[in-house]
Each structure stands twice: as C-alpha cells, then as structure tokens.
C-alpha cells in the first residue's frame, strides 16, 4: 500500500537575486537603435481613410455589393470619379 508522502522541503531562493546594474554592465550592453527596428503587421498607409456612418439608398448599395469583394473600394472610386466633374456643394 502506498502512503501519502510529504513533499521534500526545497531550499528557498530569493526571487530578487539579480545583480546590481553598474556602469560596467551598461558599458557592455547593446545600444537600442529604433531606426533598425523591423516593423511587423500592416504597413502604414500613404493616404488615410476615415471611418464614417453614412446612409445610402438600398438599391445603390446593392448595385455595388453584387460586384463582389472590394465593392466598398469601387464605391469610393466612383465617388472620387464623380468629384472630378462635379462640385460637392452644388
């Protein structure tokens, strides 16, 4: 029959046993240069976009949606094209 065994007492180690940070330590440290930092993820856009809440007629939205993926980009291009020949105030 196996009896419950008590855990062996372990020697306690101070978690704050890091060495002192001296001038010699910092003299041997590598210099951090942010220009050499490699960025991950999506690259910064050259032209930023605004997130807006806009209401369009359902038939206008549906006409763009049926064109498939990228319909919002095409809708933006259509508005941009319209601005070339029209004034938004008129």
Band of pLDDT at residue 90, cut at 50, 70 and 90: low
Q: Is residue 44 part of a domain?
A: no
**Is 83 contained in some domain?**
yes
Average pLDDT over residues 60-86: 96
The answer to whether the predicted template modeling score (pTM) of the entire model surpasses 0.85 is: no
Are 76 and 67 a contacting pair, CB within 8 Å?
no
For residue 59, the enclosing domain spans 54-90
Decide if 68 is inside a domain: yes
Within a domain: 12:
no
How many domains would you assign to the chain?
Answer: 1
Instruction: Report residue 60: phi and psi, to 5°.
Output: -70, -45
Residue 79 in domain: yes
What pLDDT, on the 0 to 100 scale, is given for residue 52? Answer: 93
Is pLDDT at 10 greater than 90 in this prediction? no
Q: For residue 67, is it within any domain? A: yes
Domain assignment of residue 15, yes or no = no
pLDDT range class, residue 57, cuts 50, 70, 90: very high
Q: Is residue 34 part of a domain?
A: no
């Amino acid at each position: 029959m196996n009896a419950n065994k008590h855990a062996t007492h372990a020697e306690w180690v101070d978690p704050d046993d890091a060495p002192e940070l001296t001038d010699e330590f910092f003299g041997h440290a590598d210099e951090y240069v942010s220009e050499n930092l490699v960025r991950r993820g999506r690259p910064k856009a050259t032209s930023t976009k605004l997130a807006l809440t806009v209401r369009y007629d359902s038939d206008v939205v549906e006409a763009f949606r049926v064109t498939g993926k990228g319909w919002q980009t095409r809708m933006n291009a259509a508005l941009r094209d319209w601005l070339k020949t029209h004034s938004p105030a008129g």
